[in-house]
Structure 1
């Protein structure tokens, strides 16, 4: 069933076309990805679809009663309500139904109404119908569902009473996404939903969206996310949209084949045109062949001549080099604690990085990954411990917030002021490689988009020729094509890299080692992201099976741990496994009890609707008391189950 159609949509800004006769179809349960370079018009198309702006031409058609939910880029909730109360606004209809059920139960137990058999029976029938409706629509599960979604978005029960206006911008965006998921619109439209999400939350979101009952239209620069989720890709390029069936990888293959086919068809037609033109020129003046030549000329005039296939869009071109080679030991941290005076984030951080390594730093949001990088480059001071660079190490830092950029400077002078000995044409050449040409270089940095500022920061990083790159979310704000160029540049880089990223495809391409940041140290994994996930899953399987051996990563095996520390770790691991087994058993007990209570509640509500019960005042009171008791137990069980899942 078609839920949504965009028909011949055109839109221009200041006489520059952004969309030209664009068509798009979204059907039930489709998972659609919209891709294109930054500035192609993806967000504009989403805003037209959702009615935020009007098209110059064309129309949006929507199936009757179809609901749309839209999460714009970097949008967040803005209210003084608490997290829990804001989520509960989604379920006002359930709250109203619950209040109505309580009111009806009081009426059912009223002796005056019981005495009137006709009125009592009518009320019981209405009550029975409302109970069935409440149950079918999820009235008994909505609070548990809310806890589950909040947990997936990294909000826990201790956060529920926090006013939303006290949260960070990223937290507000995650809450806006959580609320939209709870609303379950027929068409869920998400513009860069993976911003501000750590890897664990991204994994949860992917699984949730795979089972989402409605259709999905998503703009994302996360290739891993698109490959895992979408089954249709629309590419927006040069104001036009092209549809491909499959995920992002399938789209790349199909696009390459399509372009090659267009080139072959064009060349074949051009060869045919040349052959006909040559025949006409050779034979038009000869009496014996002039009619044939005229016929061929008419054939040429009637021919639908193909336009020459457009080449690839201009892409950034850059590479990273070094001025000199560092020593083998590049960076050493010994028992470092990071954070702020009243808020330590992580401690006992000890690790080494050697020349040529590409080390990814992973961990949940809020644990201090960016803080650690800023501490390493001396923008923050460690709370304790030592940080030491090796010989000839020249570090350079890419800050995801681009705080080092001056918003009042022109793009040209942002680079030229730091490298005044360069000639202007050379600075312009560098900026041209990062897609700043002509008057673009005279724009103020503060007027640039997030992707443009990221390219300016990368240009400055390239000119520094450092032999240690420390990168904080370098792929943020970059489109898929710019990410590929950055990946290629870093793969060929002869120095050492320490980076933070939640882009799993980027992690797999670049990382040779993963450092997992925990509140009490780091765990090292010698491999890329896939290897890290594989080892984590092995560890979880061993823990759930309550196996005794202590699992060590390669880096840990290199360390000369003393016998006593091994014994202590074995004891702690054994205690942790015991606690995990107890937790799993309790979860199973609660799930069984929750199922029993829900069945019992449904059974009691059915009994209350029977004439032999609702006509007996004492039975009604008894049943209502029992019903309230079981509902209270159910609520307690659901709450404990939610806490144990965290």
Structure 2
């Protein structure tokens, strides 16, 4: 067992006026299984890069272990997988690697295939296995679940739960709960380390937030009362003080007694005013300490429209193929999408979930010039889509985003004020509005696509893995939004909690 100590860590990107971290202090045990959580853009990946020594910073990071980052960058994916393994870890023993792969339910034959032929899940599992075989290494695992199906997430979670000595960045609540024993949270005002899983940390945070909200309300009332009391006490003290000066009496002794009485009364009134002011200042200082880490999670709006047809989409014994290759996506498919349905598509990676979404888009006459693959499907069988159906589509990948937000707004004919307001509610800072989208994090790019969808009036919302890279607080916002407005949807999402909360039907491929 050894410790990783972070002392007075301060860091800002070159050219930026705002620090990402400022005088941060905490320590971590290298035996812990740490979940790393926080809003998009708070600096989770930045912190991992600081541990890797990729940026210059002020302060100290002391550790007796080497840090290894996941996912490892594979420059030539056409190489044989085993060759890539030995590039990452030249001292890896083949029998050890095969043992680790068996725990991840990966057949050893993948080692003798080109890395490019492996699925995303197989690639992730191979890289995790080889990295965990490095001696004296503390792993920094950044978003391993992106594009992994439900079954693969369970396998990877069980594997990580059998290990120790890592920091895991993930926004999948169920996944985090199943494989960590500590939480590292980047809050609005500080960094917090706590024993437990995500759910226990989140419950503690909610209790703390509720307590601070009540205290804040009490202090606001107290400050208002003290302010009024200070004002009255000041008026009374000034009135008493004014009667002391220039007061005359026919009897000299009586004059002295009266002035002494008034002076003592004035002194007491001034002391009372001072005490009230001290109490007021303390209440104001106490109030300033509250709500610094409150995640507001403002309510979002959606504009679903009701279609005149009760059934929006109907597939009977439908076969779907790729036009170019003739490869089957689905055979004998039966699907009925009615007003108010929210259908979640489930199944292993590669079973055709995204392809089915594109077939639905094509059947409904959805045109999308920026992504030609939408119209790449050949639909055979009996099918019908309601005419005049307006669709809002969120694709799986946001890699195509280029240029400024304002160019994106213009190209997609969005209401600028509404769109930027939605982004602000999704925790975008205003300074992000001036950046090109290429500079955004993966989570921020996905929020751009989601914000555009939330601004569109539609009969049907089609979302393909909308939560990839999206932080937990934004996921909860979206859950609350969909539960409130109950739009008609068909979507793919591997976050079990999200899918279970908002879906009304499941179609397993």
Is 2:320 the counterpart of 1:337? yes
Cα offset, 1:228, TM superposition:
2.2
Verify: 1:258 aligned to 2:208, yes or no.
yes
Q: Aligned-pair distance for 1:472? A: 0.4
Instruction: Write the mapping of 1:411-560 to structure 2, written as runs, cut at 5 A.
Output: 411-419=405-413, 425=417, 428-429=420-421, 432-433=424-425, 440-517=432-509
Superposed, 1:182-261 pairs within 5 Å as 182-183=133-134, 185-212=136-163, 214-238=164-188, 240-261=190-211
Secondary structure of the 1:21 match is strand
Cα distance, 1:292–1:67 mapped onto 2, change above 3 Å: farther
- Distance change (3 Å), C-alpha of 1:493 and 1:59: same
Give 1:516 shift: 1.4
8 Å CA contact retained: 1:428, 1:437: no
> RMSD across aligned C-alpha pairs, in angstroms?
3.6
- CA deviation profile, 1:494-534 (whole Å, cap 9, x unmatched): 432111111111111112222111xxxxxxxxxxxxxxxxx
3-state SS in 1 of match to 2:451: helix
**Contact 1:358 1:496 (C-alpha < 8 Å) held by counterparts:** yes
2: distance between equivalents of 1:442 and 1:387? 45
CA distance in 1, matches of 2:98, 2:419: 58
Distance 1:279 1:256, change over 3 A: farther
Q: Larger deviation: 198-207 or 327-336?
A: 327-336
- Is the counterpart of residue 274 in structure 1 residue 226 in structure 2? yes
Which of residues 371, 374, 377 is equivalent to 1:381?
Answer: 377
Whether 2:96 is the aligned partner of 1:142: answer: yes
* 1:223 CA displacement: 1.3
Give the CA deviation at 1:368: 1.8
For the pair 1:357 / 2:341, whether they are aligned, the reply is yes
Is 1:322–2:320 an aligned residue pair? Answer: no
How many pairs are equivalent?
Answer: 460
Q: CA separation of 1:337/1:429 partners in 2, compared to 1, >3 Å: closer, same or farther?
A: closer
Q: TM-score, normalised by structure 2?
A: 0.78
SS at match of 1:160: helix
Please list every run of 5 or more consecutive structure 2 residues that lacks an aligned counterpart in the other structure.
Answer: 242-261, 363-373
Does residue 290 of structure 2 align to residue 309 of structure 1? Answer: yes
TM-score scaled by length of structure 1: 0.63
Aligned residue number for residue 401 of structure 1: 397
Q: Distance in 1 between matches of 2:171 and 2:388?
A: 36
> Is the 1:431–1:441 contact (alpha carbons within 8 Å) kept by the matching residues of 2?
no
User: 1:287 is matched with which residue?
Assistant: 263
Q: Which residue of 1 aligns with 2:19?
A: 17
Shift, 1:226, TM fit: 1.8
- Which digits, 9 at most, give the CA deviation of each residue in 1:398-437, with x for residues without a partner? 111147x6623x32342344438x6x55565555555567
Taking the aligned partners of 1:29 and 1:439, their CA distance within structure 2 comes to 39
Secondary structure in structure 2 of the residue aligned to 1:372: helix
**In 1: Cα distance, 2:466 partner to 2:308 partner:** 23
Whole-Å separation in 1 of the counterparts to 2:330 and 2:218: 65
* Structure 2: distance between partners of 1:407 and 1:90: 33
Q: Aligned equivalents of 1:5 and 1:359: distance in 2?
A: 47
Secondary structure of residue in 2 paired with 1:492: helix
Residue 168 of structure 2 aligns to a residue whose secondary structure is strand
Query: Which is further off, 9-18 or 347-356?
Result: 347-356
The CA deviation at 1:184 is 6.3
Name stretches of at least 5 consecutive residues in structure 1 with no aligned partner.
Answer: 96-138, 518-646
User: How far, CA to CA, are the matches of 2:377 and 2:273 in structure 1?
Assistant: 81
- CA shift for structure 1 position 377: 1.0
Q: CA contact under 8 A between 2:97 and 2:129: conserved in structure 1?
A: no
Q: Secondary structure at the match of 1:287?
A: helix
Deviation, structure 1 residue 203: 0.2
Distance 1:44 1:440, change over 3 A: closer
Distance, in Å, in 1 between the alignment partners of 2:190 and 2:92 is: 44
Q: Could you tell me how far 1:267 is from its partner in structure 2?
A: 6.5
Taking structure 1 as reference, are residues 258 and 417 closer, same or farther at Cα in structure 2, changes over 3 Å only?
same
- Residues 1:242 and 1:160: Cα distance change in structure 2 (over 3 Å): closer
Q: Does the Cα contact within 8 Å between 2:419 and 2:455 map onto a contact in 1? A: no
